[in-house]
Structure 1
Amino acid sequence: MRAMARITVVLAALSLAGSVGIRAAAAPENISAVSAILIEAQTGTVLYEKNPDERRAMASTTKIMTALLTIEAGDPDREFTVDPLAIRVEGTSMGLREGDRVSRRDLLYGILLPSGNDAANAAAVSVSGSIPAFVQLMNSRAQELGLYDTHFVTPSGLDADGHYTTARDLAKLTAFAMRDELFRSVVSCSSADVEFGNPPYKRTLYNSNKMLRRYDGAIGVKTGFTDNARRCLVSAAERDGVTLIAVTLNAGDDWNDHTKMLDYGFASVKSCPLDVGCGFRVAVAGTGQSVGVYAHNASMALLDGQRGKLTRRVLLPPFVYGTVEKGDRLGELEFLLDGEVVLECPLYADSTVTVPEQQPGIFREILARLGVYI
């Protein structure tokens, strides 16, 4: 099955099934952090902010980017011998020694659980060949992700001139990273058994993120502390289909800050089922038939005032040519909030339509004139 150019259909304001009334919650008070933000992860809606665009040191929350790039480099189970110079670094450690062999997967646990600076540097050299080259990659990726108030100097987050981010950028980065299954799995672990050394042997690493143990629904993500940055924390929690991300930079009481922010968020946002029916059909060229489309059920976390602002847009081809199998992806159903796409649902064929092997000559000629050959 091949598709021709798409047509776009914008539908009227979306009607939501089972809308839930949400009582306004009191905003969190006495947040100790100098800079803070709370967002809903799916839409990026800001629920609370305090100096969110102030550039500040980020300490080991830097390792969110380091881990993301390590994952994106692929080959997580390939073992290698760590660079002896890279692992000679101050601060927290996963316990790497000269000559140790380790996999990138186990380095991820070392980076994200005990916040190993040795693990961050070892991963950097493994991915890019050197720490400076990896830092360049970090900054390039930051630009690609729209983190325009972020600049990296080290893979570990140790204090360095020009190493900074904002609470808003860090929340955006975390929302992106949490979409990755491996990243999400690692940061949700309170502890993990890994194997490395020379020869490798098993040992247990423990997560420094106390939110995993003290907050119901916590699923990550990263702690941080340096003399310059002070206490930094990124947390994520999930309840009833709603995922929230909280960030604090330079916080005197970060665990309580995050508890108050997340409690406020869950009192303010509810998951609402979406209307994914569209009733459209797509013509199958050369058959005189058409095929219907469907999307899987979906939901979205919304504030009470957002439900009336949500619209949807159907992206479908005017026709397809070639046999269509049931379940083939034919287009997308997009949900938009304030004109921005916040969710995409694939549209699938609801039945099979078979095109005869031999097409009439005139039909072939018409397609050939259109530059289409079958």
Structure 2
Amino acid sequence: MVVKYFGNIYKPTEGGWAGRFLVLIWKGVYNLKTVKIILVTILLLMYTNIAAIAMEPETSGKAAVLIDGSNGRILFEKNSSVKLPMASTTKIMTAIVALENGNLNDMITIPPEASGIEGSSIWLSPGETHSLRDLLYALMLRSGNDAATAIAIHIGGSVNKFVDMMNKTAKRIGAENTNFINPHGLHDDNHYSTAYDLALIASYGLKNPVFEEIVSTKYYTIPWEGHDWDRALRNKNKILWTYEGANGVKTGYTKKAGRCFVGSAKRNGMQLIAVVLNCGPMFEESMALMDYGFENYKNVCIFKHGQLIDSLPVRKGILEKVDVVTEQEYTLALNKLEQKQVKTKVMIPNSLDAPVEKGQRVGSIKIYLKDELINEIPIIAKESVRKKTVWDFFCSMVNIWR
């Protein structure tokens, strides 16, 4: 096994200013007064740099979190793993399960169980028919509990079976501290999540282009049977109008949960997701969290998709060597200090045995931040290499004799 330490992704200045500075003092280049001024200036610059990174936002919510949406890394947190009621932010998972298991063009007849659900509603009547697409917009823009119930019965066959699908999807995503009892978020003591789990769920959803399109839509209209006008849906998510790059995702409120919000924004390729639970000024504080993220962190590409890592010998292969590359791009939101603290370790064998398939995993790259392992990405073969046959050996011998 070959282990390669790539070390710091940013090459540090050779030598170091401190040593050169002391040499100059020793040689008498600087007098004592000048030395004092320089030292005070250096200390001020160091304090300013550290303070700029260390000034974290404050939140009045019971729990909050800010994550890098590309990989789930926490940039700020307050009680982010505490289980709390999450109200209608539940519907993020409802939409995900519906999109993964339904057809947007399915026509759904509203069942009696979906009509008259308490809380937020778009006033669906039994017997109305709507496409799954329209009901998803009603779900995510206006938080319709009636739409949530109709979707659940259509996709799962019953509310209980749909809720089982929600819980299984949560576990698959990695939301280990979440439990759903219903598809809409009305209070139940056993219906809970955490700020971090909700951020993970939202991050997963935003990777689906249809989900992102729905939650970033400001206005939408759907038919209203028996009326001369359509239902006009205006998104309850106020940051879509006021925050640069905002692209989602969902509000929530019950008396027990308080005001809850999962917000997201994308700037310069960096997707941030902020969650606040039981927080009065939910929009203002979520925007403050994302301001902190965008002002202090930069999206750094650690490895590009298909980046060449090495060329490995292939034993008994038709080709002597095969290039091995990264399977995916890996970017990381880093502040200025962290940009000098990333290290990578490449784990690959000394050689491969034929046959080798294109895309075959042959190793991995471990990525460390502050000496802590934060991720591992696969290394794959760039092309296929078949095993040499007797005929191949014969042909190679003929070529040697020529």
Interval containing the TM-score (normalised by the shorter chain): 0.7 to 0.9
Structure 1: distance between partners of 2:72 and 2:300: 16
Q: 1:297 to 1:156 in 2, by over 3 A?
A: closer
The structure where helix makes up a greater share of residues is 2
Q: 1:96 to 1:18 in 2, by over 3 A?
A: farther
**Structure 2 residue corresponding to 1:230, chosen from 242, 251, 258:** 258
The Cα of 1:259 is off from its aligned counterpart by 1.6
Q: Is the 8 A contact 1:335 1:343 kept in 2?
A: yes
Q: Which residue of structure 1 aligns with residue 128 of structure 2?
A: 100
Q: Which residue of structure 1 aligns with residue 17 of structure 2?
A: none
Amino acid of the residue matched to residue 154 of structure 2?
Answer: S
Structure 2: distance between partners of 1:345 and 1:263: 35
Higher alpha-carbon Rg: 2
Matched, 1:16 2:30: no
The Cα of 1:156 is off from its aligned counterpart by 0.4
Structure 2: distance between partners of 1:318 and 1:94: 61
The Cα of 1:232 is off from its aligned counterpart by 0.4
State the secondary structure of the residue aligned to 1:279: strand
Structure 2: distance between partners of 1:335 and 1:196: 55
Structure 2: distance between partners of 1:347 and 1:202: 55
Q: Is the 8 A contact 1:25 1:264 kept in 2?
A: no
Q: Is the 8 A contact 2:315 2:352 kept in 1?
A: no
The Cα of 1:320 is off from its aligned counterpart by 4.4
Q: Which runs of 5 or more structure 1 residues have no equivalent in the other structure?
A: 1-7, 364-374
State the secondary structure of the residue aligned to 1:339: strand
Q: Over aligned residue pairs, what C-alpha RMSD do you find?
A: 3.3
Q: 1:284 to 1:99 in 2, by over 3 A?
A: farther
Matches within 5 A, 1:77-88: 77-88=105-116
**Structure 2 residue corresponding to 1:329, chosen from 347, 359, 381:** 359
Amino acid of the residue matched to residue 251 of structure 1?
Answer: C
Higher relative contact order (CA 8 A, sep 6+): 1
Matched, 1:303 2:331: no
Q: Which runs of 5 or more structure 2 residues have no equivalent in the other structure?
A: 13-48, 394-402
Q: 1:94 to 1:343 in 2, by over 3 A?
A: farther
TM-score, normalization: structure 2? 0.75
**Structure 1 residue corresponding to 2:322, chosen from 282, 291, 300:** 291
**Structure 2 residue corresponding to 1:175, chosen from 184, 203, 213:** 203
**Structure 2 residue corresponding to 1:339, chosen from 364, 373, 376:** 373
Q: 1:74 to 1:321 in 2, by over 3 A?
A: farther
Q: Which residue of structure 2 aligns with residue 160 of structure 1?
A: 188
Q: 1:77 to 1:342 in 2, by over 3 A?
A: farther
Structure 1: distance between partners of 2:63 and 2:208: 26
Task: Count residues with an aligned counterpart.
Answer: 346
The Cα of 1:313 is off from its aligned counterpart by 3.7
Q: Is the 8 A contact 1:25 1:267 kept in 2?
A: no
State the secondary structure of the residue aligned to 2:81: coil
The Cα of 1:58 is off from its aligned counterpart by 0.7
Q: Is the 8 A contact 1:17 1:274 kept in 2?
A: no
Q: 1:149 to 1:299 in 2, by over 3 A?
A: closer
Q: Which residue of structure 1 aligns with residue 280 of structure 2?
A: 252
- Identity value in percent: 34
**Structure 2 residue corresponding to 1:267, chosen from 285, 290, 295:** 295
Q: Which residue of structure 1 aligns with residue 100 of structure 2?
A: 72
The Cα of 1:102 is off from its aligned counterpart by 2.1
